[in-house]
Amino acid sequence: MARTFNGTSQRLWRGSAVALQPPLTLAVWVHPSRSSAYEDVLGLCNASESHSGHFLQLRGPDGVRAAAVTAQQGTFAIARSNAAYALGQWQHVAGVFSAADRRRVYLNGQPGAEDTVAKTPGGLDRTTVAAWESSGGVTAYFAGGTAEAAIWDVALTDAEILALAQGDSPLLVRPEGLRGYWPLGGDFGENDADHSGQGNDLTAEGGPGWMAHPPIRYPQPEPPPPPPSGEPVPRFPVAAGRAWCPGAAAGRIARHLRAAGVHVSGGRAGSARTV
């Protein structure tokens, strides 16, 4: 499952910013349901100032573009996507904030033009999903679904952003730089916990719901090591005791067991053999 929001009163938030200043990378899967509003999907903000922070935004009235935005006391530096986002389907949005005067947005792994306006917001004290905080109030609510939200304190490369857009979990991309990772479903179940190991869990507000999660490749457990060199690999899992081998199969099974290094004694076709 993935989180879904009504666009008017639902969001996830944390009363601290999991990262403060560039270099930063923000990334999230989104499933938009409207293009009539400016909607913030993932951000770090100063909740008491007028629009200060770093965030990912869907800008419906502005050409239906995704954007990576840095705001400082109500002034904005905006890096827009080259293509429009689509409604009613999962898409990947990421923003790389590599310096105070360098930011770029990626839509489905494709980079937009870099914005180079210098902005340095201070006092960041919130992490937000599906809304924004400004001047003590909540605004810019997002309508639709979100999944696999993540924030790094490093600037990911184009290739790393593309890997995320192609379905790699954030746990597979520079995991040592993760400051927060919120799958919001998937293999991790229905919860808003931080699975980066940093302990930055989110709080749900307004009762957001759940929807089907996008397909994601998660880290897999390591396969067991091979047996030590020179030791045969058992072909049949057996335990000491007596095994009934019916009919002519008894001799054939006994030969296979001996070839696998299992001692077999006694018996005849259609009888019990001791292993």
- Tell me the CATH number at 161: 2.60.120.200
Q: How far apart are CA 195 and CA 182, in angstroms?
A: 6
Domain identity same for 29 and 160: yes
Beta-strand ranges (E) seen in 153-270 are: 178-182, 203-205, 209-211, 242-244
Residue 227 lies in a domain: no
Write out pLDDT tens, residues 29-57.
999 999 999 999 999 999 999 899 999 99
Domain identity same for 249 and 190: no
Using the 3D structure, point to which of 195, 211, 227 is the last residue of a domain.
Answer: 211
Q: Which band of pLDDT confidence, cut at 50, 70 and 90, is reported for residue 246? A: very low
Residue 41 lies in a domain: yes
Domain identity same for 157 and 252: no
Domain identity same for 91 and 204: yes
Q: How far apart are CA 268 and CA 171, in angstroms?
A: 57
Q: What is the mean pLDDT of residues 236-253?
A: 49
Q: How far apart are CA 132 and CA 45, in angstroms?
A: 8
- Residue 109, classified by CB atoms within 10 Å of its CB into exposed (0-12), middle (13-18) or buried (19+), is middle
Expressed in angstroms, the distance from the first to the final Cα of the chain is 50
- Tell me the longest C-alpha to C-alpha distance in the chain: 90
Q: What is the pTM assigned to this prediction?
A: 0.81
Using the 3D structure, point to which of 166, 193, 211 is the last residue of a domain.
Answer: 211
Domain identity same for 205 and 247: no
Chain centroid, CA 103 distance in Å: 21
Residue 231 lies in a domain: no
- Counted domains in the chain: 2
